[in-house]
Amino acid sequence: MNLAGVPIRLLAATLLTIIAGGTARTQPAAAGAPAVGVVEATRRPITETSEFLGRIEAINRVNVVARVTAFLDKRLFDEGAEIKEGDELYRLERGPFEADLASKKAQVAQLQATLENAKLTTERARTLLGGPAGQQSTYDAAIANQLSLEAQVHAAQAQVQASQINLGYTMINAPIAGKIGRTAVTEGNVVGPSSGVLATIVSQDPMYVTFPVPLRQGLELRERYGPQGGLDAVVIRLRLPDGRMYGHSGKLNFVDNTIAQGTDTITVRGEIGNPILRASSAAGVIVHELTDGEFVTVVLEGVQPIEVLAIPRAAVLSDQQGDYVLAVGADNKAEQRRVQLGQSTTTIAAVIAGLAAGDKVIAEGLQRVRPGQTVSPGPASPLILSSMKAAADGTAPQADHGASGTSRPLDRKP
């Protein structure tokens, strides 16, 4: 191209047009305000809960021991089986005790015969007192001999009773109903009071669950539930070691009167049903869900739900300074609001401070929004709205807590 005849001003104008056109093509058009789903903060019913680590304990526990010394003739139970109160567990050698009882009975019979003769002697001495051959001293001696023999008869009868008791101890029966463990002694061994525990029986239904509560949290629970009825205002639920929720609930029935100095905790106990889960027809073994000594997570749940200012849990963000939400202001600009959360569920966050009823918070599209940015608000998705509505309809979702009883921290970042 020959530019020799082109005026300088025209050439300059042409270059500016080319540059301006290129710049215009590289700059994108201004983006519109991001669309977000918002939910209005409203009051919803929520059930307050706190979680603690606890242990299952049998209400009744008996260590079976021998009361007399004898050879163990027979074991009459299946190890690990469920037994009834009064069932015979062990049978000891009875021969020596039966012989001892027979000997004691014979001694009683002998003394009773001697006593009858003494009574006749006493009566004769009393009759002779009216005649010349009667002597007061003879009568007095006869009475003393009779009384002595009566005392000997009573002592012998007591010996018979003791022998009968010892003979009864040769049959060892279950003092309570429950599940029996394995036997510590087999047939043919000599057992006695010094032999130790032969077997252990633990009751099955209901069971205790005990758990330590930090003193500070115990004071909070007392403040929360005391005006509502104390122990009766709380329901116990259990989370089993495999994560399943136990199908039965229980009630608190005991709070210890001493604080454990080493841990600064107080022991609390509840009672919960433990019905038969299933019975194995093959081995005849009865299975219960809860087992003595089992670790569980104890969920203390308020009987009556409370009203809280609630927003979707998805609307809550966290950073190093704490929890916050992005609210939509009057000019549709996103505003960062620091909030303080109370007890919350997996879908609903209870807000103690930082929001007021009617405030609109962003629950969807948070990843596209920064504080101060203009947004295009719209209703949140039906999934979020339905979860909020379920709480409002009276389902009263349970609060979601960690083992310490405090709300689980939110780890989402903006």
Residues 87 and 192 in one domain: yes
252 with 126, same domain: the answer is no
- Tell me, yes or no, whether 5 lies in a domain: no
Question: Which helix (H) or strand (E) is 113 found in, with range?
Answer: helix 95-128
Phi, psi of 190 (to 5 degrees): -85, 130
Residue 29 domain flag: no
Q: Are 367 and 323 found together in one domain?
A: yes
- Measured distance CA(295)–CA(239) in Å, rounded: 10
Residues sharing a CB contact under 8 Å with residue 43, sequence separation 6 or more, in sequence order:
307, 308, 309, 310, 357
314 domain-assigned: yes
Q: Is residue 2 part of a domain?
A: no
Query: Looking at the structure, do residues 312 and 391 belong to the same domain, yes or no?
Result: yes
Domain final residue pick, 145, 169, 193: 169
Number of alpha carbons in the 13 Å side-chain half-sphere of residue 82: 16
Among 272, 302, 332, identify where a domain stops.
Answer: 302
Last residue of a domain, one of 302, 335, 359: 302
Report the pLDDT value the prediction gives residue 413, as an integer from 0 to 100.
Answer: 38
Q: For the domain that residue 342 is a member of, what is the CATH number?
A: 2.40.420.20
DSSP SS3 for 240: coil
pTM equals: 0.65
pLDDT tens digits in sequence order for the chain, 414 residues long: 444 444 545 444 444 444 444 444 434 433 578 888 888 888 877 777 788 999 999 999 999 999 999 999 999 998 888 899 999 999 999 999 999 999 999 999 999 999 888 889 888 878 777 666 567 888 788 889 889 999 999 999 999 999 999 999 999 999 999 999 999 999 999 999 998 999 999 999 999 999 999 998 888 888 878 777 778 888 899 999 998 999 899 999 899 989 988 889 999 999 999 998 876 555 567 888 999 999 999 998 877 777 778 888 888 888 888 888 888 887 888 888 898 887 666 777 888 888 888 888 888 888 888 888 888 888 877 776 666 665 555 444 444 444 344 333 333 333
322 and 245 inside one domain: no
In this structure, is residue 16 part of a structural domain? no
Half-sphere exposure of 133 (CA within 13 A, CB side): 4
Write phi, then psi, for 121 (nearest 5 degrees).
-60, -45
DSSP 133: T
> Which residues touch 257 (CB under 8 Å, ≥6 apart)?
none
Q: Are 296 and 281 in contact (CB under 8 A)?
A: no
Say what the pLDDT of residue 367 is. 84
17 located within any domain: no
**Are residue 197 and residue 77 in the same domain, yes or no?**
yes
Q: How many domains does the chain have?
A: 4
The answer to whether residues 216 and 296 belong to one domain is yes
CATH code where residue 191 lies: 2.40.50.100
What's the CATH number where 252 sits? 2.40.30.170
Q: Which of 268, 348, 358 is nearest to 48 (CA)?
A: 348
Q: Enter the DSSP assignment of 374.
A: B
What is the extent of the structural domain holding 108? Answer: 94-169
